[in-house]
Structure 1
Amino acid sequence: MSESNEEIRYILKFYYKKGQNATQAAKFFCDVYGPSAVSVRVAQIWFKHFQSGNFDVKDPSRCGRPMTDKMDAIFEKVEQDRHISSYDVAEERGIDHKTVLAHLKKTGYTKKLNTWVPHHLTVRNLMNCVLIFDSLLRLNETEPFLKKLITGDEKWITYDKNVRKRSWSNTGQASQTVAKPGITRNKVMLCVWCDWKGIIQYELLPPGRTIDSELYC
């Protein structure tokens, strides 16, 4: 670990003991050493380290790569690319894969699926949309075409396919008993076509088939 990185830890420790939070500590540090001297995430990691009661920030004098050096190398790589796999981090930094996972788990890192959010349109995109919609409405006034449009959509429909069978029994004899099967989910694709009045056609595709497979068969 270089002297500058060890200095970062000492300063973060100083701000932690002063009662500052990680964001404030990172800002104060960057105001002095430059905008990219330390990230808020790195400051949060070391603050969590201090909260556990461990205030040791000095590299141990031993053979091999210092543990704090490994930690910083892992966090630096993850900060650069949040989608990177733990295997890639281990390979690029020359660290054992289990060590990477242990440090990430210890500091609260976990793999989560990205969340879809609406696409944010620029002002120019919004203005173009308004102009296009306005021109279509004007065109519809002179040459009505909106009522001629047909739109389509599809949706997966899930269902259970458990069927009870009949068995031969004598008069007065009880029915045969069989164990109730577990629920098995099946699904088919429902295709719907609509005009301005409502649904004009719908179709359930054969199991395992999709609208794309139907189009290209």
Structure 2
Amino acid sequence: MFISHLDVIRVFERAFRRANLPISYTKGFNPRPKMTFTPALPVGTTSCSEYMDCEFDEEILPRDVMIRLNNVLPIGIKILEAEVADNKLPLSSLNAASYVVSIEDGSNNEAKLRNAIKEVENSKEIFIEKQSKSGAKQVNIIPLIYSIEVLESNSEGIKILMKLSIGQEGSISPSVIISVLERIAGFEFEINYIFRREIYYFDGNKKIFPI
């Protein structure tokens, strides 16, 4: 079962209450828990690399937070690691993510797929229509693509690694990339799954992960 980003936020709000953790709240008419999440994970996409920042009114060990939350979180959501944040890299600054996309290749069109990827890599402009609050607009997605490559190909299908922009400077989803590749290659892919493997800050030379 897949749930939306807003539902994930609600899950953690309830989990903090059930775990009786001293999370801090905002001030004002409608106080909210002080939690910050990485950019929303599209519904239907799996991940093992999501991050959350939270503040507490009392000092508490990160390991205790992890254990107490995992005791009350639903099956399918689990805290893998907890540390004290140094605030040097706020989650809002993360700008890149890597995805593994698995597609079926019953028509044996791997060569066409690889050629389509090369065409994207060699292009300076590929425009798509994106909806915004002000209406539809044309967006060049090439600056939002860091790399695309075929990871492996076998009888079960083809796995593609995509490193894409996310966050405030612009974002693009793997499904949109697949649509562009379909258009160039001239055939449709059946997507088995999309998995977000990493989320990080990319400064043009190296990856920096949040702490």
Q: TM-score, normalised by structure 2?
A: 0.24
Query: Which of 1 and 2 has higher RCO (CA within 8 Å, sep 6+)?
Result: 2
Would you tell me which structure has more helix in proportion to its own residues?
1
Q: Who wins on radius of gyration, i.e. which is larger?
A: 1
| TM-score between the two structures when normalised by the length of structure 1 | 0.24
